[in-house]
Amino acid sequence: MASLMARVKRLIKPLVPTRLLARRRMIPAQSPINVDVVVGDPAARQAWLEASPPTVRLVSPETYGAPPEITVGLVGTGDPTATGVRAVTTRPLSPEEKGQLAAPLADDSVGASVLGPAEWDGGSGLRVEPLAIAVTPAAWAEVGGSPPDDVNLRGLLARLTAAGHRLAISPTPGIPASAPRVDPIRAAGAAVILAAVPLHDVGGGFRGAQLAMELCRRGIHVAYVAEYGSGHSVDLGLRFVHPLLEEYRRQDFDVAAYLDRVETDLKLALVELPSQPMWDATRRLSRSGFRVVYDLIDDWSDEALGGWWYRAEVEDQFIGSADTLTGSARALVRNLEQRSGGRSVTYIPNGVNQNMFAGSGGGVPSDVPPGAGPLLSYHGSLYGDWFDWDALRAVAEAFPEARVQVIGDEHGHPPVPDNIHFLGLKPQFQLPDYLAAADVSLVPFKLNETTHAVSPLKAYESLAMGVPVAAPPLEPLVGVEGTFLDEDLPEAVRAALAAPGLDADRARAAHGWAERVGRLFAALDLPLPPPDGSDIRVRERPTVRYEPVDRAR
């Protein structure tokens, strides 16, 4: 029994650890979570305190200072040249209501003030029916303002929530309606990405998040839908902000409401997780004219990856019904070719965010290990049977003068030499500064069927920064310029240290996500929209949890 429980724990931990499930039951992901509820009545304050989690703070209206001046406009009639605090409302406001709306913005930590019926529902979190929203100039500019035709203000509220701005909710009488967003999607295209984990997983540095970023850069609206939460032990509070990006948990993604909003001809569904719930969503999207791409990114039949949810017959449904098949590694391409009866499968390896990994602007981070020896670097996941702790230890012992920095969420590790330094999980946008200081980038993976089917983003990110890569002879890296492959990882490191410098510009062009998305659109026989000059902004705004004594002021 003990061994069975250990096996179950090993399978589940990478995706949905117990501590994460408990937290997400308390704080649903699609509810505003950095929240002040502005309530003066003692009985109402007590009711909110008892019903809501420690991320909600209760504030008396009189604690705010002098409110700022606000420009108020009905939905669809706002002055686009207005400056200062803007307020959008679904109906005219009384002077008292305008005062309620403006008061919380005297607090510099509040990004937006919301007026309307509100309640904390233990099942769905904070429910708000926004009658009016006032937004600071900085928050307004960051989220792209209110979406066009956002007649019920759900779109603006969703944008502010996704960006992690602190919201001050002033409840008014009534029960909030559970209305969906209605602002239409009129972008160059509409793409739904059906993935396993949320955008902030692994600091934002994984395939689904990078595809979402590149599509948004090209004027395509992206609805990113994740089945699971993140398994990290720390919350960096990463928020991915772009007017064309929406993020959902799968159970909160209302396919019918989404389809009602789509008013564009280019419609794509990119499926990364072949689970039964995702099949239900995919089938509805396909019936509504979405072209379905099944993108095989892992060998899900491996129990360490597919765990308890994987069913081969369900994946066969995705393979058989997809309009286009793609794979991130050649082994996965061969897998799809065989299981599809010889259909054409496009090889689209992982890549690098060519805008982000274009040089270092922040200088050497303060936690880079000091010393004069070479700096060897690893960044990525630190769990799984494929990570080779013995190889990492062998590198550290073979180069005792070297500094080995390990970047990732560390859940415990075997004994290692003193020159291995664990720096913890970092947001992806900070990685260029760490790589700029490195002499060699490591990929300490074991050689097996799982790793031959892995396309290491970390390798392409390192090459884009001009850093050579030392790795075992993984099939996806064979023939990639700037990688030095050897079953003896220390030997690969020696070759990388002795090699001449790399052409980082050429690596970015060869392995950028622009090139990868170009392959996808070629497989779909569609023209690739050009970049529109925008980029997803990543912000660090962790969820604040208050001690009981600090929850009311």
210: which 2 tokens? 């990078």
Which neighbouring-strand residues pair with 378?
406
Q: How far apart are CA 488 and CA 475, in angstroms?
A: 16
3-state secondary structure of 253: coil
Half-sphere CA count of 540, side-chain side, radius 13 A:
9
User: Which residues, other chains included, contact 427 with Cβ-Cβ below 8 Å and sequence gap of 6+?
Assistant: 203, 204, 236, 238, 538, 540
Distance CA 307, CA 130 (A): 41
CA dist 477 and 485 (Å) reads 8
- The Cα–Cα gap between 426 and 205 comes to 10
Query: In the numeric block, which tokens belong to residue 29?
Result: 């992901």
DSSP helix, strand, coil percent of the chain (3-state; round to 5) = 35, 20, 45
Structure-block tokens of residue 142: 């960051």
Instruction: Identify which of 76, 101, 97 has the alpha carbon closest to the alpha carbon of residue 87.
Output: 101
The predicted pLDDT at position 32 comes to 56
pLDDT digits (tens, 9 = 90+) for 254-267: 999 999 999 999 99
Dig out the tokens for 412 from the structure.
């415990």
Q: Phi and psi dihedrals of 142, rounded to 5?
A: -65, -45
**Among the listed residues 205, 210, 207, 212, the one whose alpha carbon sits nearest the alpha carbon of residue 191:** 212
Q: How many CB atoms lie within 10 A of CB 288?
A: 15
The CA distances from residue 468 to 105, 368, 398, 429, in Å, are 50, 18, 18, 20
Taking Cα atoms as reference points, which of 163, 180, 240, 254 lies closest to residue 208?
240
Question: Residue 275: what pLDDT?
Answer: 96
Alpha helices in 415-537 (DSSP H): 431-436, 449-452, 457-464, 489-498, 504-511, 513-523
Do the Cβ atoms of 15 and 196 come closer than 8 Å? yes
CA distance 209 to 195: 9
Q: Which of 58, 40, 62, 39 is nearest to 49 (CA)?
A: 58
* Alpha-carbon dihedral 279, 285, 286, 291, rounded to 10 degrees: -110
Q: Return the residue matching tokens 């072949």.
A: 274
CB-side neighbour CA atoms (13 Å) of 338: 6
CA distance 420 to 397: 10
Q: What is the DSSP string of 159-222?
A: HHHHTT--EEEEE-SSPPP-PPP---B-SSEEEEEEESS-TTGGGG-SHHHHHHHHHHHTTEEE
Show the beta-strand stretches assigned E in 394-448. 403-407, 420-424, 440-442
Set out the domains of the chain in order of their start, with CATH numbers: 31-182 (no CATH), 189-351+529-538 (3.40.50.2000), 375-510 (3.40.50.2000)
Residue keyed to tokens 């070629």: 522
Strands laid side by side in the 483-485 sheet: 420-424, 403-407, 375-379, 440-442, 469-471, 483-485
Cα separation, 477 vs 463, whole angstroms: 12
Strand partners of residue 403 = 375
- The two tokens of residue 49 are 């305190």
CA distance linking residue 15 with residue 313, whole number of Å: 22
User: In this structure, are residues 175 and 206 in contact, taking their beta carbons and an 8 Å threshold?
Assistant: no
The beta strands (E) that lie in 90-131 are given as 112-116, 118-121, 125-128
Distances (CA, A) of 33 to 141, 158, 237, 359, 537: 21, 12, 11, 34, 20
Low-confidence ranges of the chain (pLDDT < 70): 1-32, 78-81, 123-124
